[in-house]
Amino acid sequence: MTESYEQKKRRLFGQQNMKNYLGIVEKLTVNLDVPKVLSLIETDKILDEEKEMELNSSLTLSFSDKSQVKQFVLKNLRLTVQKIYMITSLSKDCGIIEFESLHNFNFDFNFSDDPNGLISLINYEMSNKVLLDFYEEGGQKLIDLEYHLKSS
């Protein structure tokens, strides 16, 4: 499949942000020598499938409670040795990141590591997604965790 005109425009725009994007990815991952950035064609397929997922459960925690964050993600993505897609706010223009397992995700990331505060982790079969939405409210740093399932 060839890249559409719109995808080409996004790719050219994304190239301007690629250095910044890869810096964010480096902070959000561990033991990842070279991140695998998917093409915008592959990215759009994944984003289309992601839209079919429905919210199943959610939880709000203190951002500092990383052990609970990790527990929620591992419980809901169920597999830790399977490829994972990671989506941030720059992924639509730069490409989704694929890594080998949840062992490559840095659960100890800092609040400022992704300035937009929104990360999605999706399993390779596109059946389960965990959304991490972190923000500051009333002087407290919080993280909303959402578990989404592919609709039947």
Per-10-residue mean pLDDT for the chain, 152 residues long?
75 78 95 90 93 95 96 84 90 93 93 95 93 96 96 74
Does residue 59 sit in helix, strand or coil? Answer: strand
**Amino acid code (one letter) for 95:** G
Task: List the structure tokens of 31.
Answer: 């033991």
Task: List the structure tokens of 66.
Answer: 């990383």
pLDDT of residue 71: 94
pLDDT of residue 82: 79
**Amino acid code (one letter) for 49:** E
Partner residues linked to 128 by β-bridges: 149
Torsion, CA 151, CA 104, CA 98, CA 69, rounded to 10? 30
